[in-house]
Structure 1
Amino acid sequence: MSSWKNAAKCNQKRHRERRQPSAREHLGALEKKQDYRLRAKDFSTKRKALALLAKRAMEKNPDEFYHHMINSKVKCGEHHEVEKEDEHTPEQVKLMQTQDLKYINMKRTIESNKIKRLQSQLHLIDTADSVSNSHTFFVDDEKEMKNFDVVERLQTHPALLKHRTNRLKITDLENIKMPKVNEKNVEMLKEKRNKSYKELAKRIDREKELTVVQQKMELKRCLIDKKCEKPMRIKAATKNSAPIYKWKYERKK
């Protein structure tokens, strides 16, 4: 019986859709059933979307607000999303993805110790001399004020008045044996000092960046803890600061 059915199916005539007549070939290919189904489905989808938008526009509340209103804007008739500031720098992302909290804390401690050592060597003498400051002297009467001499009062050389950090007295200068210094040595010392100041500035920036990374990683670890309630975020994170969260107060036993 099954062989008879298979033979009947093989003998069935295949019905094919007709082609475009030669007189109408200039109009293009003749639309087939599958083409019509796709076109009808696309038309129906667009019609439903337009009807839904018209309904929303008719029922829209004029006092309605949602955050996307302030997070997007229209430029020259085109809708654009407002670009948000990145919370992390590429260096911070690399550190947080490749290193752990102990490594960050260790590196920050090393940088902090190197900064203290450089500051103890340099003392920031040039900066101290460049900062404007006032030195008040007290006198007994107006006559003494008119005849007041700063060099005589401080008992120093006039060239050392601007040096607040290393202002020697004349008696100390007489007892000091000054070494022979030429211009070449002075330039070498100046260049070495400037190099040390640049190194100090770079290490301070590095220490600040490591501190921010450490704070972000510590906060991330605290937020993962499921035992505590989810805190309220007060301020979002930036490239130069960690986010600020407020936890609910819990009395410890």
Structure 2
Amino acid sequence: MSSLRNAVKRVTHKERAQPQSRAHLGILEKKKDYRGRAQDYHRKEARIKAIQEKVAMRNPDEFYFGMKNAQVLDGKHRKTLEAKQKEFEADVGLDTVRIMKTQDLGYVRMQKQRDAKKVERLQSSLHFLADNSESKKRKHTIFVESRQVAENFNVAEHFDTLPELAGRTFNRPRKQTVQEIALRASGSGSEVGEARIRGAGYKEMEERKERVQKLERAEAHLVTEKLVQGKGRKRKIKAAENGQPAQYKWRRKRQG
């Protein structure tokens, strides 16, 4: 009997479609769609209620030590660089960190010496300075009206010369003179090529000077970090500013 019941074709129950007059509203929502939408709504409602309760019960004097190692960036709590550095040192070990700092310091010093020697060779080849001893003795003092003018003082603009020639202590031609020399030299291809090579040399020398200064600041930071990681009680007397490392003062210790 059961096999006969299965053999008989049954009525196919079709889902009711959206009426033609309401077709602009989209597909007709079914019970399972409503249930999912209702659950999502109540879940969000409960979350908002829990947040409101936390805000209402919040203690303005509440403090955790984790607050000192975190900061809010773009609305998200993130660990500070100091906290990340401490975690890294704890995972790797202080001995390994000191070895890494020593290697970095050696590399920075090597690059600084290499660039400094390159600057000396460029100076001698371009005849930028006649004698280092004489250049140190020469000074050109300019008096201005206020401290603000002194801070914003531009040497090249004041002497009406090129920035590459502003540091010279002698033979500092004006821009008009340089243009006249360039126009006179435009007839000779070799002279123009020589002027271009000289200009490229001055540019490279200035770039290497700036790099030497940056490497000196990096070396100072690495030396300070290496000393801070050493033994002895110390306290910070001045924070890092203007690219210079922080200053520390160590407690005197009796010898012997």
TM-score of the two chains, using structure 2 as the length reference = 0.41
TM-score of the two chains, using structure 1 as the length reference = 0.41
Larger Rg: 1
Relative contact order, higher structure (CA 8 A, sep 6+):
1
Greater share of helix: 2
